[in-house]
């Protein structure tokens, strides 16, 4: 391996690309890809797509987002030994470095490849660059299997949990706080419900060999009229993460069932946002061969990623990237050379060997 993948990661970190400001990084990526023989490059907004057109039997989509969360005193890359520090190192410019290097070095893959570098993944789903591509050029997303470079610590995280937000509104009756017994305190009514939420144990279903772990909890609370008024309304926003054995409707019904003992006829529970789960796609022959060849661990993805978007399109998808998800979005974000090289080797094998055996021991 002649390229220094850690240095390449640092180079990408040093092109700032906070969400909605991905233009310069997209320009850079586009320029690199346009320099590669045999790649058909398309730019849609700040998204860049490059495809081989070799007439292979199968097409693999390798996708990664170019944006990062806002820097937190770590806007510039810093390499210390075999570790690169900086915003986006883990999530997911180390993954982009792997993609970019493979795109220019593996020019005769055994499968056709679609490289997707897309914008605005770190903000609300409605702004997603992948959604923009899906709406403007759905043909560019076509493929037999998709691999996203989201941080997984160099292992395979299969499928992803769905996520939904529900707003719960509890009612009461106003009164002067000098005579609270004339009314009913809606904020007090939250008490039993929050106790139930706090004690709630999420299911841990095994789906396609992966154990998921559901979660349900409050992410926002608000209520109150004035300093001398018994409040007649309290609102709670919940986030529910649900495993891929449940549809959004079934997941919402489950939440209502958990809350039911504390709800009264005038209360309201409303799903305000939902993204479906994706079943694990580790049985696809190309993925299964890579896992076997590299001895990768396979686990469940607990967070939501764009694998769900591919899954909805009927394209099985997995997450595989060098970063550590628990370091993403932190001031101490970093990535290790070994993890980047591990993912590089796994994906190189997939592109050059397909579902076959390694040509030689590593």
Based on C-alpha coordinates, what's the Rg of the chain? Answer: 23
Residue 348: which residues within 8 A CB-CB, separation 6 or more? Answer: 102, 106
Options 190, 315, 340, 350; binder of its own copies; rule CB under 8 A = 190
Catalytic residue among 30, 46, 67, 306: 67
- Beta carbon of residue 277, minimum distance to its own copies (angstroms, whole number): 12
Rounded Cα distance between 357 and 16, Å, is 40
Options 37, 126, 198, 264; binder of its own copies; rule CB under 8 A = 198
- Is residue 268 a contact residue for its own copies (CB under 8 A)? no
C-alpha closest to that of 321 among 349, 304, 341, 303: 341
Q: What number of CA atoms fall less than 13 Å from residue 269's CA on the CB side?
A: 19
Options 185, 252, 335, 337; binder of its own copies; rule CB under 8 A = 185
Options 36, 54, 71, 229; binder of its own copies; rule CB under 8 A = 229
User: Nearest 10 degrees: CA dihedral of 263, 265, 268, 269?
Assistant: 50
The single residue listed with the structure tokens 């419900």 is: 193
| Phi, psi dihedrals of residue 301, rounded to the nearest 5° | -90, 120
Rounded Cα distance between 155 and 149, Å, is 11
User: Nearest 10 degrees: CA dihedral of 132, 135, 136, 140?
Assistant: 90
Which residues ranging from 304 to 323 are in contact with its own copies (CB under 8 A)?
304
User: Which residue stretch of 99-107, 196-204, 249-257, 346-354 sits at the interface with its own copies (rule: CB under 8 A)?
Assistant: 196-204
- Answer for the pair 291, 156: CB distance below 8 angstroms, yes or no: yes
- Beta carbon of residue 212, minimum distance to its own copies (angstroms, whole number): 10
* Of residues 145 and 307, the one with the C-beta less far from its own copies: 307
Which residues ranging from 147 to 166 are in contact with its own copies (CB under 8 A)?
161, 163, 165
Rounded Cα distance between 292 and 352, Å, is 15
Active-site annotation holds for 67: yes
Residue 198: which residues within 8 A CB-CB, separation 6 or more? Answer: none
- Is residue 192 a contact residue for its own copies (CB under 8 A)? yes
User: Which residue stretch of 76-84, 133-141, 190-198, 285-293 sits at the interface with its own copies (rule: CB under 8 A)?
Assistant: 190-198
For the chain, give the number of residues.
Answer: 362
Compute CA distances 171 → 174, 194, 220, 222, whole Å.
Answer: 10, 15, 17, 13
- Is residue 227 a contact residue for its own copies (CB under 8 A)? yes
- Beta carbon of residue 200, minimum distance to its own copies (angstroms, whole number): 9
Instruction: Give me the 233-252 binding string for its own copies, x by CB under 8 A, dash otherwise.
Output: -x-xx-x-x-----------
Options 2, 179, 265, 314; binder of its own copies; rule CB under 8 A = 179
- Is residue 219 a contact residue for its own copies (CB under 8 A)? yes
User: Which residue stretch of 3-11, 52-60, 136-144, 213-221 sits at the interface with its own copies (rule: CB under 8 A)?
Assistant: 213-221
Catalytic residue among 121, 150, 157, 214: 121
Active-site annotation holds for 336: no
- Beta carbon of residue 224, minimum distance to its own copies (angstroms, whole number): 3
- Answer for the pair 323, 339: CB distance below 8 angstroms, yes or no: yes
- Beta carbon of residue 96, minimum distance to its own copies (angstroms, whole number): 22
- Beta carbon of residue 135, minimum distance to its own copies (angstroms, whole number): 23
Residue 222, both tokens: 């608000």
Q: What number of CA atoms fall less than 13 Å from residue 206's CA on the CB side?
A: 2
- Is residue 70 a contact residue for its own copies (CB under 8 A)? no
C-alpha closest to that of 301 among 247, 249, 244: 244
List residues with catalytic annotation.
67, 121
Residues making contact with its own copies (CB under 8 A):
161, 163, 165, 176-182, 185, 187-198, 215, 217-231, 234, 236-237, 239, 241, 273, 302-304, 326
């Amino acid at each position: 391996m002649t390229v220094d993948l850690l240095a390449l990661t640092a180079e990408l970190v040093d092109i700032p690309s906070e969400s909605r400001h991905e233009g310069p990084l997209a320009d850079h990526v586009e320029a690199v890809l346009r320099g590669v023989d045999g790649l058909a490059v398309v730019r849609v907004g700040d998204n860049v797509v490059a495809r081989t057109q070799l007439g292979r039997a199968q097409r693999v989509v390798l996708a990664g987002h170019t944006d990062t969360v806002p820097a937190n005193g770590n806007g510039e890359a810093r390499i210390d030994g075999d570790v690169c520090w900086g915003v986006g190192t883990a999530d997911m410019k180390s993954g982009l470095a792997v993609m970019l290097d493979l795109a220019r070095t593996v020019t005769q893959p055994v499968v056709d490849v679609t490289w997707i570098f897309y914008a605005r993944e770190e903000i609300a789903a409605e702004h997603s660059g992948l959604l923009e591509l899906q709406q403007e050029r759905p043909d560019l997303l076509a493929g037999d299997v998709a691999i996203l470079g989201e941080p997984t610590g160099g292992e395979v995280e299969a499928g992803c949990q769905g996520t939904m937000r529900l707003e719960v509104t509890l009612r009461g009756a106003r009164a002067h706080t000098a005579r609270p017994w004339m009314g009913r305190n809606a904020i007090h009514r939250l008490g039993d419900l929050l106790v139930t939420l706090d004690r709630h144990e999420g299911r841990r279903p095994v789906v396609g060999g992966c154990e998921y772990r559901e979660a349900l909890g409050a992410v926002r609370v608000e209520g109150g009229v004035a300093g001398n008024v018994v409040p007649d309304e309290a609102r709670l926003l919940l986030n529910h993460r649900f495993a891929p054995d449940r549809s959004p409707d079934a997941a919402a019904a489950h939440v209502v069932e958990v809350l039911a003992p504390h709800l009264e006829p005038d209360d309201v529970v409303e799903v305000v946002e939902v993204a479906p789960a994706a079943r694990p796609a580790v049985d696809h022959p190309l993925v299964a061969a890579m896992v076997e060849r590299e001895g990768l661990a396979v686990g469940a993805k607990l967070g939501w990623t764009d694998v769900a978007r591919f899954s909805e399109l009927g394209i099985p998808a997995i997450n595989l990237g060098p970063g550590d998800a628990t370091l993403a979005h932190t001031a101490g974000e970093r990535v290790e050379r070994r993890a980047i090289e591990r993912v590089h080797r796994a994906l190189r094998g997939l592109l050059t060997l397909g579902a076959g055996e390694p040509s030689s021991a590593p």
